[in-house]
């Protein structure tokens, strides 16, 4: 593999990065230095930088449908910026609804809602159009809520994950949980047990959630990838295994024994993926997985990229699981990248080259070309 391109602009550890969908090559990052950096990967110019404050900026997201608006979280506050002129970013609005430090923010792809998951275990749903608090999702996570994502095909549903090892599906219009998976509960139907030799013995905390943005009808859509503290990347068919529907039993599965993909209704005319755990048996991580994302390059959603505390990046072709009948194999792992630092965040771009961006515990981002 070629040496990565190095992106410099931060004075402290880089905490988050996001890539534009509308403008290929545009990348925005944030750091513990309270700075936001704007890069154009198509040129070698120095980045535009804005020093927002002294607190670390923990998360970034674009406003859906209008990437001229950028949101960043620092401490308990969310700030919105007008970035249509990167050299003169302007503050638009701010929200102070969270009680404790925000870990991740996300904007709904289909509406004006902004979500903020925090250390209290709560997630605030903010109506960015009305500029007011809409709902608080609480009383399920009993530890830090680390990650939140909306479901584009179900505009009133969101998924949160926490350091209580729970993955929670919410109807945020009602502020109620619809389903819960507790990864700390052993699953008799899974090939994985907590006594497997060589396994990472950290608890299966949920550190990161990614939802595939693949086109409908490709078979790669409506899939979630979960970065777990025990070194596993869990791949779940969100729609079939996690979203309640009238065609399913009114008693939804709980705990680690959630319905598996291979148990889908036989009425489906297409081959469906089975459950998939990308772990050390397949050449995966030997320490906690810190971040996970789906590929935006090539066939969108075909690859899952994970980064861990073992200072490794793993590129997985999880789509092979759609085409084979046998159990998951090492064929799913197509690339490993060795780093010198633990991974904080990952994102992919829509470009054919310079399409994987890595934020580790250093102040320099690395940009790789995958496949």
Mind giving me the DSSP string for 51-74? E--SS-EEEEEEETTEEEEEEEEE
Q: Per mean pLDDT, which of 45-49, 168-172, 189-193 is the most reliable?
A: 168-172
Beta bridge partners of 113: 127
Write down the pLDDT at residue 115.
98
pLDDT over threshold 50, residue 269:
no
Using a cut of 0.75, tell me whether the model's pTM lies above it. yes
C-alpha dist (Å) from residue 145 to 101, 199, 208: 10, 25, 10
Q: Average of pLDDT values for 157-183?
A: 97
Q: Average of pLDDT values for 218-237?
A: 94
* Domain extent listing, the chain: 5-262+269-368
Write down the pLDDT at residue 84.
86
Write down the pLDDT at residue 324.
54
Write down the pLDDT at residue 235.
95
Query: Where is average pLDDT lowest: 103-117, 167-181, 207-221?
Result: 207-221
Q: Average of pLDDT values for 299-309?
A: 96
> What is the Cα Rg of the chain in Å?
19
Under DSSP, the state recorded for 242 is I
Distance between CA atoms of residues 368 and 240, nearest Å: 34
Query: Where is average pLDDT lowest: 159-163, 218-222, 236-240?
Result: 218-222
Distance between CA atoms of residues 262 and 21, nearest Å: 33
pLDDT over threshold 80, residue 263:
no
Write down the pLDDT at residue 365.
97
Write down the pLDDT at residue 287.
97
pLDDT over threshold 60, residue 71:
yes
Mean of pLDDT over the chain: 88
Query: Which is more confidently placed, 262 or 73?
Result: 73
**CATH fit for domain 5-262+269-368, picks 3.30.1380.10, 2.130.10.10, 3.40.50.1100, 3.40.50.1820:** 2.130.10.10
Distance between CA atoms of residues 212 and 75, nearest Å: 28
Q: Where are the beta strands (DSSP E) in 141-300?
A: 145-150, 157-162, 166-171, 176-182, 206-211, 223-228, 233-237, 276-278, 289-294
pLDDT tens, 27-48? 999 999 999 999 999 998 778 9
CB atoms within 10 A of CB 247: 7
DSSP helix/strand/coil, 190: coil
Distance between CA atoms of residues 227 and 225, nearest Å: 7
């Amino acid at each position: 593999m070629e040496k990565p391109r190095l992106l410099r602009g931060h004075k402290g550890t880089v905490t988050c990065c996001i890539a534009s969908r509308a403008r290929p090559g545009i990348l925005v990052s944030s750091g513990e230095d309270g700075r936001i950096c704007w890069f154009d990967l198509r040129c070698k110019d120095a980045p535009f930088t804005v020093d927002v404050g002294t607190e670390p900026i923990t998360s970034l997201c674009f406003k859906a449908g209008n990437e001229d608006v950028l949101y960043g979280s620092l401490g308990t506050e969310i700030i919105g910026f007008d970035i249509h002129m990167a050299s003169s970013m302007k503050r638009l609005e701010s929200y102070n609804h969270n009680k404790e430090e925000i870990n991740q923010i996300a904007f709904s792809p289909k509406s004006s809602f902004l979500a903020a998951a925090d250390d209290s275990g709560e997630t605030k749903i903010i109506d960015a159009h009305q500029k007011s608090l809409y709902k608080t999702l609480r009383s399920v996570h009993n530890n830090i809520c680390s990650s939140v994502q909306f479901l584009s095909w179900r505009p009133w549903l969101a998924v949160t994950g926490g350091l209580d090892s729970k993955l929670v599906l919410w109807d945020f219009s009602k502020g109620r949980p619809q389903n819960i998976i507790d990864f700390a509960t052993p699953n008799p139907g899974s090939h994985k047990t907590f006594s497997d030799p060589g396994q990472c013995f950290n608890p299966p905390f949920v550190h990161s959630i990614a939802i595939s943005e693949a086109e409908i009808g490709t078979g790669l859509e409506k899939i979630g990838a979960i970065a777990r503290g025990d070194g596993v990347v869990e791949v779940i068919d969100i729609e079939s295994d996690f979203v309640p529907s009238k065609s399913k039993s009114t008693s939804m599965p709980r705990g680690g024994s959630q319905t598996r993909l291979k148990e889908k209704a036989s009425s489906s005319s297409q081959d469906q993926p089975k459950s998939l755990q990308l772990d050390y048996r397949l050449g995966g991580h030997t320490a906690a997985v810190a971040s996970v994302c789906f590929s935006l390059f090539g066939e969108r959603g075909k690859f899952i990229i994970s980064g861990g505390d073992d200072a490794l990046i793993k590129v997985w072709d999880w789509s092979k699981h759609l085409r084979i009948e046998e159990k998951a194999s090492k064929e799913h792992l197509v690339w490993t990248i060795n780093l010198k630092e633990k991974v904080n965040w990952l994102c992919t771009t829509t470009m054919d080259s310079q399409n994987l961006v890595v934020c580790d515990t250093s102040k320099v981002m690395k940009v790789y070309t995958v496949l």
